[in-house]
């Protein structure tokens, strides 16, 4: 039996959809390899935001007039679209936030804080982004709970043996990244979530780096919460999604108070709307939600299978080419990886690597990637990181490799 | 347009490779640590005062070529200077790297003039000035011979 054919991705055609990709930087064609920081936006997203402000702008959930009604319909349609994309059981499990960070903080403050007691444990991992560490430290200091972390192996994988030992009767919450922003490691989330659920541990998945690369099915993952950001997946900044299983969201008290999240208000007390409105106080980021809707539609049209196959090819090619360079060491060589290459150049600080590449028009990230505990684990102050999207090409990988050779010659 | 060669001048590359005064001072009269949380650069600066004069100054740390070379050249520039002279030099250096040194010919800054290219790269200003800010903290906290008495 032959494998199902993956529709090939026409990368040159796809690139036409992204206006920024044809610009020049420092006199050279832009080679944008900082997609894990933020993705570029297709024309369709830019147009959707612009069209909303140009002809459809109104506030939602409050007007009786035509524009308000239309804006409300459009806003709620995106919620339904996100629910489909994530395979949530119902649209009301989708809460719009400002981004992944806000989603995790919402869970920490609204789910965890009233329930955690002194001595309870929150299990995270050593490879988390600061946004999946600090909110848990804050709630730990508020409740007397303790944060524990699953260690990372030399290749950049989670030590699942230690994970099994750290998961105990004291564990209340498991919060883990689906894909590491700094290394690209794809964690065995489904398996870890299943282990956690055997002990009634509530699970929170940081999907900021997985949604751009992988198809997501929250019911199959089995997690209670799943957070991601719009801007990393072709959408505008300032909008994100928190998926919460219906029974969990129902059981949670509001986080912020204000308009749109209430049922009735007297001067003495208020009663609160059902989820998701309960967690969306005030006028939300309407234009950004509309833009996110356009982004996710575009993503589905290109197709996860085609994206996955092309990114795997890019990662394989880039890994092979970078390994040919002497004095370059790849950090994070897990078996399951998304298209992220973290590396160090012997004797050259990552900032200087980034500066020389920038002069060649190649945009990468240099730094600790908001993952200082992970950097410490590898004994590095920072790394250089090239992160790919489906609109990157093999020629751009070649530009990266030429740039790294240029770095070696400047600092020889 | 700011060019890479202006940023990474040979003197900077050379001091990055072989930083001067890269050591601790055991009998230091002042010591401070500086940290750039954005990029993770860290530097520790030691000073030994003789009265009002910086008798010895040294550093250690981890950072990019700009921050390392800046720390190295700084130690050479302030050794033997008085506290007010060092602070004045810091202020001039700060104006140079932020592009606010109009009317002050860079060459009058001696070797420090090699950092004139930094002003074309705003994100690198913090790299160049980290060691200087740390020196200033060390000077502020340093116990001079005078006050020790």
Euclidean distance between CA atoms A38 and B62, whole angstroms: 28
CB contact under 8 A, B40 and A355: no
How many domains is chain A built from?
2
If chain A, 412 residues long, is cut into consecutive pieces of 10 residues, what is the mean pLDDT of each piece? Answer: 70 97 95 98 98 96 89 96 98 98 98 98 97 98 98 98 97 98 98 98 98 98 98 98 98 90 88 93 96 97 96 98 96 97 96 95 94 93 96 98 95 88
Per-residue exposure over A164-182, b if at least 16 CB sit within 10 Å of its own CB, e if not: eebbeebbbbbbbbbbbbb
Tell me the per-residue pLDDT of B88-110, one tens digit each, with 9 for 90 and over.
999 999 999 999 988 888 778 89
Is A235 inside a domain boundary? yes
Least Cα distance to B123 among A186, A197, A363, A222 occurs for: A363
Q: Is A223 a catalytic residue?
A: no
Q: What is the pLDDT of residues B2-31, one digit of tens each?
A: 688 889 999 999 999 999 999 999 999 999
Q: Within this chain, do residues A179 and A283 fall inside the same structural domain, yes or no?
A: yes
Q: Which of A34, A346, A350, A352 to mutate to test the interface with B (most CBs of B within 10 A)?
A: A352
Residue A36 near residue A340 (C-beta atoms within 8 A):
yes
Answer yes or no: do B65 and A372 touch at CB < 8 A.
no
Same domain assignment for residues A281 and A373: no
Same-domain status, A215 and A330 = no
Full set of structural domains in chain B with CATH: 4-144 (3.90.1010.10)
Residue pair A175/A137 in contact (Cβ under 8 Å)? The answer is no
Given A300, A331, A364, the domain boundary residue is A300
Do A188 and A69 fall within a single domain? yes
Q: How many CB pairs under 8 A join A and B?
A: 51
Interface probe with B: pick from A34, A134, A350, A355, most Cβ of B within 10 Å? A355
Burial A62-77 (b: 16+ CB within 10 A, else e): eeeeeebeebbebbee
Whether residue A324 is found in the same domain as residue A288: no
Residues A192 and A282 in one domain: yes
Query: From B3, which residue of chain A is nearest by alpha-carbon distance?
Result: A359
Q: B4 to chain A: which residues are within 8 Å by CB?
A: 355-356, 359, 410
What percent of chain A stands above pLDDT 70? 99
Q: Which of A186, A227, A370, A400 is catalytic?
A: A370
Question: Kind and range of the H or E element at B53?
Answer: strand B53-62
Cβ contact (<8 Å) for B7 and A349? Answer: no
Comparing alpha-carbon positions, the chain B residue that sits nearest to A375 is B40
- Of the residues A275, A300, A325, the one at which a domain ends: A300
Site from B1, B34, B39, B126 to mutate, A interface, most A CB atoms within 10 angstroms: B39
Residue A10: C-alpha distances to residues A22, A127, A307, A331 (Å):
16, 34, 10, 30
Contact B4 A356 (CB under 8 A): yes
Tell whether A265 and A313 lie within a shared domain: no
Q: Is residue A1 domain-resident?
A: no
Q: A411 and B7 in contact by Cβ < 8 A? A: no
pLDDT value of residue A166: 98
pLDDT at A2: 54
Q: Domain check: are A276 and A331 in the same one? A: no
A9 CA to centre of own chain: 23
User: What are the pLDDT digits (tens) for A122-163?
Assistant: 999 999 999 999 999 999 999 999 999 999 999 999 999 999
Return the DSSP state at A57. -
* Binary contact (B65, A349; C-beta < 8 A): yes
Cβ-based neighbours of A95, under 8 Å, separated by 6 or more: A103, A106, A241, A242, A243, A244, A249, A275, A276, A279, A280
Looking at the whole model, is its pTM more than 0.95? no
In this complex, the residue of A359, A372, A382 whose CB is nearest that of residue B4 is A359
CB of B53 within 8 A of CB of B114?
Answer: no
- The CATH number of the domain holding residue A364 is 3.90.1150.10
Q: How many CA atoms lie within 13 A of B70 on its CB side?
A: 34
Question: Do residue A258 and residue A345 come from a single domain?
Answer: no
Contact B4 A410 (CB under 8 A): yes
Q: Tell me which residue range forms the domain holding A216.
A: 46-300
Tokens of A356: 């020389």
Any domain includes A318: yes
**Pick from A370, A396, A386: which is nearest to A332 by CA?**
A386
- Are the Cβ atoms of A381 and B7 closer than 8 angstroms? no
CA distance A328 to chain B (A): 17
Structure-token match 């590396």, residue found: A343
Residues A329 and A352 in one domain: yes
- My answer on whether A72 and A208 are in the same domain is yes
pLDDT at B144 over 50: no
Q: How far apart are CA A190 and CA A292, in angstroms?
A: 26
- The interface predicted TM-score of the complex, written ipTM, equals 0.88
Query: Is residue A37 a part of any domain in this protein?
Result: no
Q: Cβ contacts (< 8 Å) between A356 and chain B: which residues?
A: 4
Residue A289 to residue A180: CA distance in whole angstroms: 25
pLDDT digits (tens, 9 = 90+) for A3-59: 566 678 999 999 999 999 999 999 999 999 999 999 999 999 999 999 999 999 999
Interface of A with B (CB under 8 A): 26-27, 348-352, 355-356, 359, 366-368, 372, 375, 381-382, 410-411
State how far residue B99 is from chain A, nearest Cα, in angstroms: 19
Q: Does residue A6 fall inside a structural domain?
A: no
Last residue of a domain, one of A269, A284, A300: A300
């Amino acid at each position: 039996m032959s494998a199902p054919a993956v529709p090939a991705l026409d990368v040159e055609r796809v690139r036409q959809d992204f206006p920024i990709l044809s610009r020049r930087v420092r006199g050279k064609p832009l080679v944008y390899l900082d997609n894990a920081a933020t993705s570029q936006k297709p024309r369709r997203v830019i147009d959707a935001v612009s069209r909303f402000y140009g002809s459809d702008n109104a506030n939602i959930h409050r007007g009786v007039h035509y524009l308000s009604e239309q804006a409300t319909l459009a806003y709620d349609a995106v919620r339904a679209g996100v629910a489909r994309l994530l395979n949530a059981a119902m649209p009301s499990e989708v809460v719009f936030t400002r981004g992944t960070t806000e989603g995790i903080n919402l869970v920490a403050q609204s789910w965890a804080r009233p329930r955690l007691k002194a001595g309870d444990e929150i299990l995270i991992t050593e490879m988390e982004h600061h946004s999946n560490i600090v909110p848990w430290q804050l709630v730990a200091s508020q409740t007397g709970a303790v944060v524990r972390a699953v260690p990372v192996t030399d290749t950049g994988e989670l030590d699942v043996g230690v994970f099994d030992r750290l998961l105990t009767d004291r564990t209340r919450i498991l919060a883990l990244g689906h894909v590491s922003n700094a290394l690209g490691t794809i964690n065995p989330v489904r398996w870890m979530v299943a282990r956690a659920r055997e002990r009634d541990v509530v699970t929170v998945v940081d999907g900021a780096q997985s949604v751009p690369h992988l198809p997501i099915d929250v019911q199959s993952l089995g997690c209670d919460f799943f957070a991601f950001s719009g801007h990393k997946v072709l959408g505008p900044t300032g909008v994100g999604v928190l998926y919460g299983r219906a029974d969990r969201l129902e059981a949670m008290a509001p986080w912020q108070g204000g308009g749109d999240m209430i049922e009735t208000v007297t001067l003495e007390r208020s009663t609160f709307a059902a989820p998701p409105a309960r967690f969306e106080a005030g006028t939300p980021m309407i234009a950004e939600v509309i833009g996110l809707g356009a982004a996710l539609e575009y993503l589905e049209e290109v197709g996860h299978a085609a994206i996955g196959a092309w990114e795997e090819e890019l990662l394989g090619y880039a890994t092979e080419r970078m390994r040919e360079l002497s004095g370059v060491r790849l950090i994070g060589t897990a078996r399951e990886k998304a298209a992220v290459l973290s590396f160090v150049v012997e004797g050259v600080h990552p900032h200087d690597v980034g500066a020389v590449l920038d002069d060649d028009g190649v945009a990468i990230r240099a730094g600790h990637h908001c993952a200082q505990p992970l950097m410490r684990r590898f004994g590095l102050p920072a790394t250089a990181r090239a992160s790919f999207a489906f609109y990157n090409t093999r020629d751009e990988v070649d530009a990266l490799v030429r740039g790294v050779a240029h770095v070696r010659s400047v600092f020889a | 347009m700011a060019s890479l060669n202006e940023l990474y001048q040979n003197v900077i590359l050379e001091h990055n490779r072989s930083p001067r005064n890269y050591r601790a001072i055991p009998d230091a009269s002042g010591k401070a640590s500086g940290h750039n949380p954005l990029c993770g650069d860290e530097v520790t600066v030691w000073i030994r005062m003789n009265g009002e004069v910086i008798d010895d100054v040294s550093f250690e740390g981890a950072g990019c070529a700009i921050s390392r070379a800046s720390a190295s050249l700084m130690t050479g520039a302030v050794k033997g200077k008085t506290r007010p002279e060092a602070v004045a030099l810091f202020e001039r250096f700060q104006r140079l790297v932020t592009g606010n040194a109009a009317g002050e010919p860079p060459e009058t800054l001696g070797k420090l003039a090699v950092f004139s290219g930094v002003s074309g790269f705003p994100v690198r200003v913090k790299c160049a000035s980290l060691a200087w800010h740390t020196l200033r903290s060390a000077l502020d906290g340093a116990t001079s011979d005078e006050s020790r008495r």
